[in-house]
Amino acid sequence: MGNLSASSKKVALLGSERKPLEGATRGANVADDEIIRATVVLHRRTVSKLPAMETFAFSHTRSVPYRSRSEFGTLHGAEPRDIEMVLEMAHEHGLTVAQVNAAARTVVLTGPAAAMQQAFGSTLSWYDSPKGRFRGRTGPILLPEALQPRVMAVLGLDNRPVAKPHVRLTARSEPAGSFTPPELAQLYNFPSGVDGSGQTIGIIELGGGYRTSDLKAYFKGLGLPVPSVTAVSVDGGQNSPGTDPGNDGEVMLDIEVSAGVAPGAHIVVYFASNTDQGFHDAISQAVHDTVNNPSVISISWGGVEDQWTPQARDAMEAAVQDAAAVGVTVTAAAGDDGATETLSGGYYVEVPACLPEVLGCGGTNAVRSAAGGLVETVWNELAKNEGATGGGVSRIIPLPAYQASANVPLQPQTNFQGRGVPDVAGDADPETGYWVRVDGKNTVIGGTSAVAPLWAGLIARINQRLGKPVGFVNPVLYQIGSNAFNDITQGNNGPGNTGYSARAGWDPCTGLGTPNGAALVNALLGVTAATA
């Protein structure tokens, strides 16, 4: 074990440098006795490298099965000596070890700010910004030279908000074209004879809460059983309805849509803080949850990829890679601000929707046709200040192999050959939104926030039908192509004629399209038969 004494040479953790937040004003330093909680994320064991991402794709074959959570932890968790070195550092600086999860490769430390700053070589101050007041740092995190190569990220010292919920409201009180989730499940031809029974849908929330009384009233109105919903606290996060009403709509939308289209599924909501630590830890805890065992995780929050530190982005990707390895599908909203997704101009995509192991979910405007189906175009209500589907090309994440034939354009500002977002789509326009119940009132909500749980519910039904999880399904969806999708070919996601435009096949607005659920099941059954 390396020498981690206080006199050991310290070096910068790669990718940890924080720049001052634009528009933020620095105030007083954080009090020495303020208690801080930090998560140290370690690299995977080197004795058994994680297989290439593509090998996880729908690997129901005898040759490449998904790993169980316990087996994955044994093969790809943290090295015991790496954990020991973090514990040694914590002891030397008087920090308390709150949690160790070897499978998830995380060590959670708590202690006074003075000790945290000394341990990680950071100065913590209070900042006032348009996003609110937060505890922040600038510059890199410093670690003992022997420990630094073993650490992927240190999260939580800086607690600025990193994401926003992707819900959109309409200015009209009762849009004539709105839907209940079961109606959309029928219109999208979700597979019959299954309701998600035996499956658990994990939902990530970074604020807000739900009321059981609202769920009872809502599902009674739909004529469906009240779903089984469990709240899980991550890093102290709580189900807190009423304290943050703006985020209650996100929480209720996620539960009501996912359970509305998969009423037999168990819903588990992981509540965490809106920080890089909270976001990562919620996903990681859901992926490695051996009590609830979610087979699909829905995420309706996101933040522009450039605003993440590389260490935090890498930790997020490692968490969803874990999901792929253990057979968990991760769905994520692509965003609600069109192709720009930022106030500083230019075209951007969001984390986590842009991570290759995530099923990125874009949005459409869906109108009932005279024949009883749907007519769909790209969701774009920017002219009404009601948002538009996110979508585009990553500036940072390379093009994954499964998109090699999707004709993903180069990133317009950088010419980078990046990951294209989204992969799939669903109704998201608040003008054609979802009837939900929030804080005792019925209302209509849109946004790509609704599409992530819509697809999560569909995946739960597919898992039940197949008798096994589809897991990391992205490569297979691109292999299946248009046969199981409603291809969206009209509209764009920028103001005026800017942004990206829909086209035949995959596009950076609606991906492969919206689901034809029964056709998708049949296609997946065909893949299973061909590879068994």
Spatial distance between the Cα atoms of 210 and 226, rounded to a whole number of angstroms: 13
Residue type at position 82: D
CB count within 10 Å of CB 100 equals 16
Q: What's the CA gap between 206 and 238, in Å, rounded?
A: 9
429 tagged catalytic: no
- In the residue annotation, 254 being an active-site residue is answered as yes
> What angle in degrees, to the nearest 10, is found between the helix axes of 310-325 and 276-287?
10
449 is catalytic: yes
How far is C-alpha 15 from the chain's CA centre? 21
User: How far is 254 from 97, CA to CA, in rounded Å?
Assistant: 33
Q: What is the 3-state secondary structure (H, E, C) of 98-164?
A: EEEECCCCEEEEEEEHHHHHHHHCCCCEEEEECCEEEEECCECCEEECCCHHHEEEEECCCCCCCCE
How far apart are the C-alpha atoms of 75 and 73, rounded to whole Å?
A: 6
Strand, coil or helix: 366: strand
Phi, psi dihedrals of residue 290, rounded to the nearest 5°: -85, -5
What is the rounded CA–CA span in Å between residue 235 and residue 252? Answer: 21
Q: How many CA atoms lie within 13 A of 3 on its CB side?
A: 5
**Nearest alpha-carbon partner for 475 in 58, 61, 52:** 58
Catalytic site residue from 59, 305, 449, 507: 449
Q: Which residues pair with 155 in a beta bridge?
A: 39
Q: Which residue has the tokens 């819900």?
A: 167
Q: Catalytic one among 214, 250, 281, 305?
A: 250
Q: Give the total residue count for the chain.
A: 532
The single-letter code of the amino acid at 361 is: C
Q: What is the side-by-side strand order in the sheet with 164-165? A: 164-165, 301-304, 350-351
Q: Residue 271: in which H helix or E strand, if any?
A: strand 266-271
Virtual torsion, Cα 272, 273, 275, 279, nearest 10 deg = 10
Q: Which of 254, 322, 429, 431 is catalytic?
A: 254
Residue numbers annotated as active site: 250, 254, 449
